Amino acid sequence: MKSYLNLLFLLVVVISPLSLLMAEEARTKPNFIIIFTDDQGYADLSCFGGTHVSTPRIDQMAAEGAKLTSFYVAASVCTPSRAALMTGTYPKRIDMARGSNFVVLLAGDKKGLNPKEITIAEVLKKEGYKTGLFGKWHLGDQPEFLPTRQGFDEFFGLPYSHDIHPYHPRQAHFKFPPLPLLEGEEVIEMDPDADYLTKRFTERAVQFIEKNKDEPFFIYMPQPIPHVPLHVSPAYMKDLPEGLKTSLSKEDNYIDYNARKQLLSQAIAEVDWSVGQILDTLKKHGIDDNTLVVFSSDNGPALGKATPLKGKKGHTSEGGMRVPTVIRWPGNIPAGMANNEIMSTMDLLPTFAKLAGAEVPSDRVIDGKDIWSVIRGEEKSPHEAFFYYKANSLEAVRSGKWKMHLKRQGKKKKITTILYDLEQDIGETKDVSKAHPEVLKRLLAYGKAFEQDLKLNNRPAAFVENPQPLKKIK
């Protein structure tokens, strides 16, 4: 009996410090939060020069962290941009550059992100992270493709854009079903009141933080706004012009898209409030200094502004794919820095993996790079070139300050080239290709080599038979 007690005492002495060490290691792993808005342009933040909006909380976030002024998404529309963020991979490489019958996935689409792909959530989950998604998914609405099958412990949100609903202006053509709101894999509401979505997703993210504050967590909060139709909660409608209030009050079994276009500043103000709620919750629970927060957008503006950039959503001009991005981690990212190195959403997966002590998938090509030292201002961008795709078509290549556009003209798709110096001409107005033929040749070679690589190293999307729109089970 005495020897048994001695052995038990020895085990307690050995295991207790080990358990404490493991618990401490879990606490010191950084938390990660990605706030990803929809169709917010380069100038749709006041800290990026926007005078038509007011974003004091995001501005404060930038003052306490860094503005990334050459930060790119991998596509200028929803689905491919989000696929790249989740997988660290160019959309064309994983056959997610478009939906099966449209530029993005639609309701009841047979196509979705392949469950064999490895998402940021899955990478972090292997390291003990709790993972939650609150907002818009848009990588497949069939059960096989939902976030809960891609590494997320919790999902409260929409399977796709909130305009994929019966009130769409082109409903006679699309014939969209009612919009579902999901909790996990269960539809809990049909056609939820979209005026409250920003608020509801924010509240759920706050609850998730409070529930998991003592262990590492990853939150992906893809807000549906400011994608049209614009919606804001009643608190942000108080000071609207009377005429606009009257137009909105007349909505009955339809949505007045034209009237709602006037809500841009209010919608972005509520997004700013949402960011403030997240930051305040981190501070309240003493985990502010151990949480890396990224704010960005999925592509350029549909209604907003991309000044001084050219282009908008759907374009491979800078305004379509260079997005307003702020990153904050007190004590780890120098405060008040404007960082103009080339970085992209694809870089977040390998960067988060490094910071969490996780492994980047080694059995497949990951296009993103570890940019932690770049974010801190210690190194240059690891990207020799960045590639701009519209669906599956390569339309531009950037290397350093140079950007080459490929223009396909005529029935034979004859290719002509245009070269811009983005340092001198951020608005892409002056073709300097004749003065720099050697640069043009180098960028053409980058594009040709990358296209060849995509042919040799690609992975399929996934498809289901007999897809059905999601419905609430009564």
pLDDT tens-digit series, residues 387-435:
999 999 999 999 999 999 998 877 767 889 999 999 999 999 999 999 9
Quote the pLDDT of residue 280. 98
Asked whether 226 and 44 are in contact (CB, 8 A), the reply is yes
Quote the pLDDT of residue 5. 59
Quote the pLDDT of residue 410. 73
Would you tell me which CATH number, out of the four given (3.40.50.720, 3.40.190.80, 2.40.40.20, 3.40.720.10), belongs to the domain 29-384? 3.40.720.10
Which residue among 47, 52, 78, 168 is the active-site one? 78
Could you count the other beta carbons within 10 Å of the beta carbon of residue 187?
A: 18
Residue ranges covered by each domain of the chain:
29-384, 390-456
Per-residue burial over 389-415, b if 16 or more Cβ lie within 10 Å, else e, is bbeeebbbbbbbbbbbbbeeeeeeeee
pLDDT tens-digit series, residues 108-164:
999 999 999 999 999 999 999 999 999 999 999 999 999 999 999 999 999 999 999
pLDDT tens-digit series, residues 428-474:
999 999 999 999 999 999 999 999 999 999 999 999 999 999 998 87
Please state the length of the chain.
474
Residue 205 to residue 134: CA distance in whole angstroms:
6
Residue 397 to residue 388: CA distance in whole angstroms:
6
For 390-456, CATH number?
A: 3.30.1120.10
Asked whether 135 and 157 are in contact (CB, 8 A), the reply is yes
Q: Look up 78 and say whether it is catalytic.
A: yes
Contacts made by residues 97-102, CB under 8 angstroms, sequence distance 24+:
97/389, 97/391, 97/392, 98/391, 98/392, 100/463
Residue 361 to residue 119: CA distance in whole angstroms:
10
- pTM for the model stands at 0.94
Which residue among 47, 52, 138, 168 is the active-site one? 138
Point out which residues pair with 420 in neighbouring strands.
Answer: 403
Asked whether 188 and 471 are in contact (CB, 8 A), the reply is no
Lookup result for tokens 């977040």: 348
Q: What percent of the chain has pLDDT over 70?
A: 94
Average pLDDT over residues 318-331: 98
Tell which wins on pLDDT, 462 or 21: 462
